[in-house]
Structure 1
Amino acid sequence: MTTNDIVGKLWNLCNILKDDGVTYHQYVTELTYLLFLKMAMETGSEEQLPEGYRWADLESRAAPDRLEFYKILLIHLGTHGSNLVQEIFANASSFIKKPATLSSLVAEIDKLDWYSVHREDLGDLYEGLLEKNANEKKSGAGQYFTPRALINSMVRVMQPTLADTIQDPAAGTGGFLIAANHYLRTHNDFDALTDSQQRKYRNSTFFGMEHVQDTHRLALMNLMLHGIDGGIRYGDTLSPEGQALPTASLILTNPPFGTKKGGGLPSRDDFTYPTSNKQFCFLQHIYRGLQPGGRAAVVLPDNVLFESNVGTDIRRDLMDKCYLHTILRLPTGIFYAQGVKTNVLFFTRGDSDKGNTKEVWVYDLRANMPQFGKRTQLTEQHFAEFEEAFGNDPLATSTSLAKRIDQGESGRFRKFTREQIAERGDSLDISWLKDDSATEAQDLPEPAELAQEAMNELDAAMEELRGILEELGMEEAV
């Protein structure tokens, strides 16, 4: 049985829970609790769980009593066991209502051929489960899941090293940190590291923050299965909690879009330009949180490139404090919200706070690209030409930038001087290619989705008619 086979089987178990009224996102959280217990047994790491509250204890309970014991177990693990156990099970509760549902899940998980999955593949198995959840529109989890092809491309051009302190201040399920971990393990001989270097790597390389507790527990599980201890804190980066994150030499992130709930300002007081716009707040956190010479790759929506007033001030501050050397205009349709237009900003923190940006290179991967969605998947091959144009220097020093080729008005890669950007009012929303794909028909939703929308509209219309008839005293006619 391959890893993909097990992912498919685990995902199909959600049908058992759907019958018990459990949503997709709740299902993955529920499955995380059970998988943690099972994998602790399979990997010989049950010492972090208190005795009497392990997989075998759950499995040995009589079926009618198992659900009641399971709910007690979840509460107990929130305050007992290792720090990781307590974080994953913090405020945990079960959505399962029927004892038979839990018994079916336990039996099905036990049936899977865990011995066919290598220890290093358990993380990939869990990542596959998270990806399925993100691709299921009804789960609403897409907002926590950046396409892995994009993450891997960003990591490749940023080239993490063992000397880096790597941060993601909007960690989601941990995709950026895990991709950086994979890159480092692929490009270094970990057997040659001393014990202290190994400990430093596991405990002091990866840092992040996530403010949704269910997503935080998924991230911790994901990191654990990839051999990373902790790393992602539960908290709000835009509060004083975010100020406690250590400065980083590499930041990789995709901050949440939109405004702060209620339209209020962030509660932390160290931003030069307070705003309710979350992307601008995160952007300030990122370039202020970089060590001198540190680098960042950040996914941001189009409005960050052109919004006036405080937006202009923040862009100027960014270009002063950092060398904003590259902007990648991303295709539409690659995120959970179909129409969202996004970019990746690549920049390096300067040694001084003024005049660091001399030129900005813009790569247009949006114009004349396929309409991505279920029919056309975004793959790593779509980023190959950008990576080649970017070059082999993650800091984009003047020597490496001199080797870049401006492809002119008919090409995808162009250079704009700081003076040219100033003439545009410091707007970074720069495009030049005629986009023929923009006039073509957009991907239509799946037929089932169209049918469901039509049914919902009909139901609403029927409700209105019933209301009218009730007012007329004729409700029995419907």
Structure 2
Amino acid sequence: MNPASDLVNKLWRLCALLRKDGITYQQYVTELTYLLFLKMASEQKDEGRIPEQYRWRAITAANEAEVLQRYRQALVDLGNPDKVSDRSVVAIFQNATTVVREPATLRKLIDAIDGLHWFSDERDAFGDAYEGLLQKMAEETKRGAGQYFTPRVLIDVMVNLMQPQPGEVIQDPAAGTGGFLIAADRHMRDATDDYFALSPAQQKFQLGQAIRGIENVPDTFRLLLMNLHLHKIDPDHLDLGDTLSPKGSGTQFKNAGLILTNPPFGPAGGPPTRDDLTITDRVSSYQLPFVEHVIRALRLGGRAAVVVPDNVLFDEGRGKALRQRLMSWCNLHTILRLPTGIFYAQGVKTNVLFFTRADDEAPTKDATEAVWIYDMRSGAPAYGKTNPIRPDDFSEFVKAFGDDPLGRANRTDTGEEGRFRRFTRDEIAARGENLDIHWLKATSDEAEDGLETPEDIAAAIEGHLKLALEEIGALVTDLGGEANASELAEAAE
């Protein structure tokens, strides 16, 4: 068995110690975040940033009568910038509290973690094990899990096709737990002998400035910091904030060479407040404003791969205006129609947009000459927890996409019986700028008929209801009824 997988399974079984007290899966993983940070610092001889009384051996040496009190005090003090000078430590432990109620339970967690073997002949397993825990959490927490976790196989496909390069700024404006950023960093490390093939100046940029992300949920931001810390990525350019707000970091995160993201879908509870989002400034949902952010945040010639729901492809009003801007300023060269069920929110129909910002600030003609669409959805099996999507499922698309991250490889239109088609800009305009193009027999509903577990079926129903409320809210907004759209957004939460 893979050493990291073995660790994940053992750590996940420890969840039973806390689940009986009504602890959620995310609370459990957050608790492990604190303990694993202290354990990792001890194993890697990197405890200089931690006050001596709160280091791993000091916690493990405490007797049962005092271990819980010492641990609670450690969480308070490690998140206090007056007591700890290291910013990354303070950020991970900011406002940290424990959900452990009994000293005996904490002792069992500590002893179990202390007894695990964290190293193989090739590498330490802290980072891989933590990512595995995050994936387990997403699998077990269907409600809302898609907001912060993207299936690893899809991340790897998007990253490998976009070919991140050392020296460019790589951004995720909805970073979640950092899957895209870590995969991009790993891709570049593998190509440069862990950055040792780069000059000292290039190494400094890669280790301190290349990776940038924004996350709006404090608890998820903590998991993001820990995940990147375990993968040796500097957290200085990770911000807790709202990408769509002027007080967030969205307006500052400009000139990205590559953006990889799966932004949240659905009602946002209010329109974005950034002045530069001129097209989507009155849209009370996440996906359209995030797409406009990506367009504006790319440097000239920069590229992006963005996961979006179907309505981005066909919404009228501001949705249509956004697609016109996208195809004017960028070369939208590829759309991948994803199968249903690959996200933990069943019933949500999604796509990946691959596009490149034009080399000119204000192109005199549309940068998009044609859009290639690959349909992975029609005729696809019923994916879900019992049948997760695998790398081989993407092999035909990867081959069709080609080896050019800008979408300029030689491609073949497979015709009406095939999965890969080319549509010219004029053909799209004749369709009223509607990019929701499919030609094979639609079988997504039949695929959902194959769902087996009650959880998958309930999640599929929930996903359809949320999308229906969202589309009604978008219509109301276009008609000028912002207050009513806001009420619908709240109802969908």
Partner of 1:428: 435
Partner of 2:407: 396
Q: Secondary structure at the match of 2:206?
A: helix
Kindly report which structure 2 residues correspond to 1:378-417, keeping only aligned pairs within 5 A, or say none.
Answer: 378-397=389-408, 400=409, 403-417=410-424
Letter in 1 for 2:228: L
Q: Secondary structure at the match of 2:415?
A: coil
- 1:72-101 CA distance string (max 9 Å, x none): 111111122411101111111111111211
Is the 2:192–2:198 contact (alpha carbons within 8 Å) kept by the matching residues of 1?
A: no
- Superposition deviation, residue 227 in structure 1: 1.4
Q: 1:449 to 1:163 in 2, by over 3 A?
A: closer
Partner of 2:63: 62
Q: 1:369 to 1:150 in 2, by over 3 A?
A: same
Partner of 1:364: 375
Show structure 2 runs of 5+ residues with no match.
Answer: 459-493
Is the 2:382–2:451 contact (alpha carbons within 8 Å) kept by the matching residues of 1?
A: no
Partner of 1:470: none
Tell me, in whole angstroms, the C-alpha distance in 2 between the residues paired with 1:71 and 1:210.
Answer: 26
Alignment of 1:333 with 2:341, yes or no, is yes
Partner of 2:24: 23
- Superposition deviation, residue 57 in structure 1: 1.7
- Superposition deviation, residue 200 in structure 1: 1.3
Q: Between Structure 1 and Structure 2, how many residues are aligned?
A: 445
Alignment of 1:226 with 2:227, yes or no, is no
Corresponding residue to 1:236 among 226, 236, 242? 242
Is the 1:143–1:336 contact (alpha carbons within 8 Å) kept by the matching residues of 2?
A: no
Alignment of 1:260 with 2:264, yes or no, is no
Letter in 2 for 1:16: L
- 1:30-70 CA distance string (max 9 Å, x none): 10000000001001111122332211121122212111221
Q: 1:162 to 1:143 in 2, by over 3 A?
A: same
Is the 2:144–2:345 contact (alpha carbons within 8 Å) kept by the matching residues of 1?
A: no
Q: Secondary structure at the match of 1:46?
A: coil
Corresponding residue to 2:202 among 194, 197, 200? 197
- Superposition deviation, residue 135 in structure 1: 0.7
Q: Secondary structure at the match of 1:48?
A: coil
Q: 1:67 to 1:239 in 2, by over 3 A?
A: same
- Superposition deviation, residue 436 in structure 1: 4.6
Tell me, in whole angstroms, the C-alpha distance in 2 between the residues paired with 1:46 and 1:195.
Answer: 26
Show structure 1 runs of 5+ residues with no match.
Answer: 452-478
Tell me, in whole angstroms, the C-alpha distance in 2 between the residues paired with 1:138 and 1:71.
Answer: 30
Partner of 2:461: none
- Superposition deviation, residue 437 in structure 1: 6.0
Partner of 1:276: 284
Partner of 1:104: 108
Tell me, in whole angstroms, the C-alpha distance in 2 between the residues paired with 1:101 and 1:440.
Answer: 44
Is the 2:64–2:107 contact (alpha carbons within 8 Å) kept by the matching residues of 1?
A: yes
Bigger mean CA offset, 424-433 vs 225-234:
225-234
Corresponding residue to 2:177 among 148, 173, 178? 173
- Superposition deviation, residue 22 in structure 1: 1.4
Partner of 1:35: 36
- Superposition deviation, residue 253 in structure 1: 0.3
Is the 2:384–2:456 contact (alpha carbons within 8 Å) kept by the matching residues of 1?
A: no
The structure with the largest helix share of the pair is: 1
- Superposition deviation, residue 114 in structure 1: 2.5
Letter in 2 for 1:52: Q
- 1:245-300 CA distance string (max 9 Å, x none): 24200000000001212xx2112221111121210110011010000000000000
- 1:207-244 CA distance string (max 9 Å, x none): 00011111111111111111111142111111122212
Q: Secondary structure at the match of 1:63?
A: coil
- Superposition deviation, residue 9 in structure 1: 0.6
Tell me, in whole angstroms, the C-alpha distance in 1 between the residues paired with 2:132 and 2:213.
Answer: 21
Alignment of 1:3 with 2:4, yes or no, is yes
Tell me, in whole angstroms, the C-alpha distance in 2 between the residues paired with 1:162 and 1:108.
Answer: 39
Kindly report which structure 2 residues correspond to 1:127-142, keeping only aligned pairs within 5 A, or say none.
Answer: 127-137=131-141, 140-142=144-146
Q: 1:448 to 1:212 in 2, by over 3 A?
A: closer
Is the 1:329–1:364 contact (alpha carbons within 8 Å) kept by the matching residues of 2?
A: yes
Q: 1:136 to 1:448 in 2, by over 3 A?
A: closer
Is the 2:266–2:285 contact (alpha carbons within 8 Å) kept by the matching residues of 1?
A: yes
Q: Secondary structure at the match of 2:333?
A: strand
- Superposition deviation, residue 450 in structure 1: 8.8
Greater Rg, structure 1 or structure 2? 1
- Superposition deviation, residue 328 in structure 1: 0.3
Tell me, in whole angstroms, the C-alpha distance in 2 between the residues paired with 1:159 and 1:138.
Answer: 31
Is the 1:6–1:112 contact (alpha carbons within 8 Å) kept by the matching residues of 2?
A: yes
Q: Secondary structure at the match of 1:271?
A: coil
Bigger mean CA offset, 426-435 vs 440-449:
440-449
Partner of 2:478: none
- Superposition deviation, residue 164 in structure 1: 1.6
Partner of 2:50: 49
Give the TM-score of the pair, scaled to structure 2.
0.87
Letter in 2 for 1:180: A
Give the TM-score of the pair, scaled to structure 1.
0.89
Q: Secondary structure at the match of 1:295?
A: strand
Letter in 1 for 2:442: D
Is the 1:64–1:99 contact (alpha carbons within 8 Å) kept by the matching residues of 2?
A: yes
Counting aligned pairs with the same residue, the percent is 53
